[in-house]
Amino acid sequence: MPTFEQIVAFLMTPSWPVVLLGLLVVLGGPVLLHVVLSRSVTYIVPPVVLLLGPSGGGKTALQTLYERGGSAPAAATRTSQSSQSVELHASTDAANKTTYRNRDESDGTYTKFLLVDTPGHGKLRNTALGKLRRADKLRAVVFVVDAAALVEHDVLAATAQYLYDALLVLQKKATTTVVKDRRGAVPVLVAANKMDLFTALPAAMVRANLEAEISRIRASRSKGLLDSGVGADELGAEEQDGWLGEYGADKFSFAQMHEFGIDVDVLPGTVVAEEPDADKWWWWIAQRI
């Protein structure tokens, strides 16, 4: 058996075995440590809140406002072409729990969540809806609309169409998964933005106009199926699968989504202004994550 002095002398003598052993220790050590640590620590995915809505509604500006915590003016609305996520913290028991400006306070218990902004352009809408279908740990959807632009029928029609599709995705998810005590259903907030503008519709009128337009879209889609020549046996199943809310009802209302455990609220607010008014939306989110 070699002595200690012989082992030290061997290691101190330049040779290929010593060089290879040194490289193995230097390069392999960090890799081995990473593997051990990655297996011992379980990564927890935080709850997700998804921002949806047509372009120009203010989704990106809202995300920026919440990210900065009111320390700087919100960014102006811009067209985004990809999803962006920010990590935020909300509390339901802090002293200033109802405001997004409480990020630097230490009292209360805070829950980490991801606020995910999605592209609102019509050509990228399938990307946003796909994210809605696949999102892990989805806790809520905030559908941001321009309350001042909804007076124009084209804008109202496009907004209602998008909201219809989003609600239908959630409805199908609710009917294909087991929801216990309705805790697994995903609530929806229609954030009526730009209330600081003179032409902005009140929240109650935003709700009424969207419900009326969704009723028209639902009837139009049903008629389209009737005119498509689909067989009678297939028609009933296909129509019911694409029917939003209470099947067969003449008029749509957000209250019909309760049947699927989906609560839909409409709240007013303003993102880009000297004094942004986005606390109601923040508190709504905080109570649902």
Number of domains in the chain: 1
Report, as an integer, the average pLDDT of 221-226: 69
Quote the percentage of the chain above a pLDDT of 90: 48
In-domain check, residue 72: yes
Residue 251 lies in a domain: yes
Question: 147-184 pLDDT, tens per residue?
Answer: 999 999 999 999 999 999 999 999 999 887 654 445 56
Residue 76 covered by a domain: yes
How far is the C-alpha of 53 from the C-alpha of 36, rounded, in Å?
43
Tokens at residue 139, please?
Answer: 């806790």
pLDDT tops 70 at residue 119: yes
- Is a pLDDT exceeding 70 seen at residue 10? no
Closest CA to 260 of 190, 178, 189, 204: 178
261-271: average pLDDT? 96
Has residue 251 got a pLDDT over 50? Answer: yes
Residue 271: the pLDDT is: 94
Residue 41 lies inside a defined structural domain of this protein: no
CATH number of the domain that 253 lies in?
Answer: 3.40.50.300
Q: What pLDDT digit, counting tens, does each position of 192-213 carry?
A: 999 999 999 999 999 999 999 9
Range of the structural domain that residue 257 is part of? 48-286
How would you list the strands of the sheet with 110-117, edge to edge? Answer: 84-91, 110-117, 48-52, 138-146, 188-193, 264-268
Q: Is residue 276 part of a domain?
A: yes
Q: What sections of 178-248 are H helices per DSSP?
A: 203-227, 232-241
Q: Is residue 35 part of a domain?
A: no
Residue 188 lies in a domain: yes
- Judged by average pLDDT, the poorest of 11-20, 76-85, 103-112, 241-250 is 11-20
Range list of β-strands (E), the chain: 48-52, 84-91, 110-117, 138-146, 188-193, 264-268
Report, as an integer, the average pLDDT of 3-11.
60
CA-wise closest residue to 219 among 240, 250, 241: 250
Taking 70 as the threshold, does the pLDDT of residue 140 lie above it?
yes
C-alpha of 95 from chain center: 26
Mean pLDDT of the chain: 82
